[in-house]
Chains A and B, each alone.
Chain A
Amino acid sequence: MIRPAERRPSPVDSPNLLALVGLLRGQSIKVHADDMKALMQLAADEGVEAMAAERLTAHQPGSDLESLTRKAALQSMLLEQITREVLAHTQRIGIPALLLKGNAMAHWAYPQPHWRACSDVDILVPSREAAEQLAQALSRAGFERATTSGALVAFELMCTRQLTPDWKVEIDVHWRLSNSALFADRFSFDELMAQAIPIPALGAEARGLGTVHALLHAAIHRASNLMTGMGDRLKWLYDFVALSQHLDPETWLGVASEASQRQLAGLTLSALQAADRRLGLVVPTAVMDSLERSAATEAIDHARLDDWQYMEALTWHSLPGWGIRLRWAWQRLFPSRDYMAYLYGVDRSYPSLLLERLRRASQKLGR
């Protein structure tokens, strides 16, 4: 699930960031022992700790980072088992399902699943009713139901389970591809399922988004993250690099065509440019040219994806009619107590949580 977050401090290219990016680009980087802790902390913050640890170990034997890799592998193995359990429930109740985001991509787009840090299972089902059925099945199997924000703000239900003392895994059951009303209806479930790919590592019946849809979804996810102030974490940008390894020239053209058809060219272009700037992603020129041409005709200015007021205004205008707009605004402004308690990680009274929300909103407005 996407949580509106405090804006992450911009990691202006510090030496550690440059070293980290170099590692992800496959460069041979030597890190002084005194800098190792800070570098690995940055890698953890950016969600690329395991990848950085393995590459450092390869370039710099004796850097003693094996324990980080093992920890990441164990977390990935636990998440794999939970994913299998969730998928078994979808089969038992007869609901078609698609795995989304990092947990799915980890098992087919990355050389090693634990290279893609992820702590949640995101699963897409065809409807709100199917999501409710699955959430009920998970509840019966011992998962806890968690509160989400209003149905116009988040198209998902959430269940959790305490897996380890410090890890409560979330199962986000989505019935739209994005929680942002602006992008939620760009694809139907059936369209996505028609292009889905098997993920045998997660079971014979496991399916994930097809390569083109996975890339476009990663771009939508990035736009949502920029909108909520979460910035460009390296693990999200690296998804484009990992996906690009599975794209031949023809499929790249499919990305451009689908992005243009779905009015997603601008945000796809922006994501690919960011991944190029940071990680040296190589995209065929014809694809970038095509995205650029299509982006120029779209309603969303992709240069303003991180301007939350602009994006909220676009969302408002995208909603059909005043009734829905007012309900959406109400749900945005006054979420339930349980949801705010979860979001802010504090258990307080409703007025106190609303004050906290107001404080955060003022900070956001001040930026």
Chain B
Amino acid sequence: MTLPERALPLADVVTRRLGDEMVLLNLSSGTYFALNEVGARIWELIKEGVPPPQMIQPLLDEFETDALVLEADLGRLLADLQAHGLIGTT
């Protein structure tokens, strides 16, 4: 799966940290999403403006996982977030 070059949170998305989790809410659509610990970290990287291809290394440093698995999971998560109107990608 090819990662998008950029991912940005949409303006009407609000978030709240709940321990390791993060809850995302799209105020326009009412859609909400709960992210686990890894997902929450990915969201933070999205908010910091880190391009998705450059997220792999910091995530590998923080979580025990395989690079290929991580890249595939990251791609799926970004696609899900986009499908739910929570981020825009290019």
Contact = CB atoms under 8 A, between A and B. Distances in A.
B14 A69 contact: no
A70 B27 contact: no
Interface string B1-23: 00000000000001110110101
A107 B83 CA distance: 31
Q: Contact size class for B?
A: 10 to 19
A81 B27 contact: yes
What does DSSP make chain B's interface, helix, strand, loop or mixed?
A: strand
A346 B82 CA distance: 44
Interface of B: 14-16, 18-19, 21, 23, 25, 27, 30, 32, 34
Nearest to B19: A54
A49 to B, nearest CB: 14
B79 to A, nearest CB: 22
A74 B27 contact: no
B21 A77 contact: no
A81 B14 CA distance: 9
Contacts of A76: 16
Nearest to B23: A73
Contacts of B27: 78, 81
Interface of A: 54, 66, 69-70, 73-74, 76-78, 80-81, 112-114, 164
Contacts of B16: 73, 76-77, 113-114
A70 to B, nearest CB: 5
Contacts of B30: 164
A226 B26 CA distance: 39
A62 to B, nearest CB: 15
Nearest to A67: B34
Nearest to B34: A70
B25 A70 contact: no
Contacts of A81: 14, 27
